[in-house]
Structures are given as C-alpha cells and as structure tokens.
C-alpha cells in the first residue's frame, strides 16, 4: 500500500517538473476530491469557513455542503455549494484560500476575497486533473494534507505539512476527478 501511496502522491511532483505539460483548469463547474492513504476520493466541502474532506452530512451543520468550483481571475477558485444533496447553505461565491508561510494555522479555508495578510487565494493551477498552487516565487507546490477530526469520515484539509507533527495526518492529492465508484453517503 505504501508503494501505491508514494506513487500517487509523487504524481503531482513529476507532472509539475515536466516541461511538456500545459496548465489547464477544468472548463465547467467541478468538484475537488482528496486521494491518500485511507481517503479514496473524498469530496471537498465547507461550512462557509474551513475546508474539509469527507461526508458533509457528518458535520451536522446546515451550512456544510460539498463545494462546486469555477475558475476565477488570477487563478483563483470560486466556490458555491453543490445543492444536489438537498441542503441550501447561505454561503456562496467564496474563494479557496491556502495559508502562507507566515500563517499560524495550516487549515485551508474559504473567504469573500482573494487577498489576506496570511493566506493566498490565487495561484491555483491544474496539471491534468491535479490541483497545485503556484507561490509568488513561481514555485509549484502540492502540500495538501488531511487531519482526522473528532467525527468519523471527516478530515480537516490543511496545507504545508513540513512542520505539522499532528498524529494521523494523511498526505493527499486534490483532483478534479471523482472516484470511479461513488462514495458511500456515510463515508
């Protein structure tokens, strides 16, 4: 299993280093799905603030919903709730944000703006279906990881695990490709 995980997690690095691949974002609204050890395509969702992977219904929050993204200006990703699951949260048009190196929190989140003093809401690029982030130096990074929450089937989506020693973290890749089989609603 570790060989497969290493192979899967190494794909974005190999892809980013390839000079023949071209950046391209999905052209239609899309979801993001996390893949890692024990996380086989869990959807990204939010409660309007934090980013999570897993089953939104497990959060037991009327604001929690799977996210449907569109590409915005400056390579930002704009989020709206995917309301096909039946609930209708009050949030919409939020920007995906990753913490920068000065942030004390590693959790990925959502905000009403692409600018923040310690978070970045621009620079998201796709190589194939893999989501990467290009920092201000032009370096491509895929530093996604998931931290298990107190609720089964939910992980907090975080960024930059190099100094996070939380027990149980799972390195993940984010893809615009759903799993080949639909996840169980309880997952």
Q: What is the pLDDT of residues 112-141, one digit of tens each?
A: 876 677 888 999 999 889 999 998 888 899
Domains and CATH numbers, the chain: 2-175 (2.80.10)
88-103 pLDDT per residue, tens: 899 999 999 999 878 8
Dihedral angle, C-alpha 52, 55, 60, 61, nearest 10 °: 50
Asked whether residue 64 carries a pLDDT value surpassing 80, the answer given is yes
Section 25-41 average pLDDT: 90
Q: Which pLDDT belongs to residue 138?
A: 86
The torsion angles phi and psi of 135, rounded to 5 degrees, stand at -80, 180
Using the predicted structure, report yes or no on whether residue 4 has a pLDDT greater than 50: no
**Average pLDDT over every residue of 74-78:** 92
Dmax (CA) of the chain: 45
What is the C-alpha separation between 127 and 18, in angstroms, rounded? 10
Query: What is the rounded end-to-end Cα distance, in angstroms, of the chain?
Result: 20
């Amino acid at each position: 299993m570790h060989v497969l995980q290493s192979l899967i997690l190494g794909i974005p690095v190999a892809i980013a280093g390839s000079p023949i691949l071209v950046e391209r974002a999905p052209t239609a609204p899309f979801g993001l799905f996390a893949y890692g050890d024990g996380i086989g395509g869990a959807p990204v969702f939010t409660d309007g603030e934090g980013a999570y992977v897993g089953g939104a219904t497990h959060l037991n929050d009327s604001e929690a919903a799977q996210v449907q993204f569109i590409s915005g200006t400056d390579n930002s990703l704009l989020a709206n709730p995917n309301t096909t699951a039946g609930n209708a949260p009050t949030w919409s048009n939020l920007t995906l944000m990753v913490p920068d190196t000065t942030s004390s929190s590693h959790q990925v989140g959502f905000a009403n703006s692409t600018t923040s003093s310690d978070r970045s809401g621009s620079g998201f690029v796709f190589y194939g279906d893999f989501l990467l982030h290009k920092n201000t130096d032009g370096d491509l990074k895929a530093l996604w990881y998931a931290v298990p929450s107190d609720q089964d089937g939910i992980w907090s989506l975080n960024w930059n695990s190099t100094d996070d020693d939380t027990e149980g973290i799972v390195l993940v890749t984010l893809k615009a490709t759903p799993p080949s089989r639909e996840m169980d609603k309880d997952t």
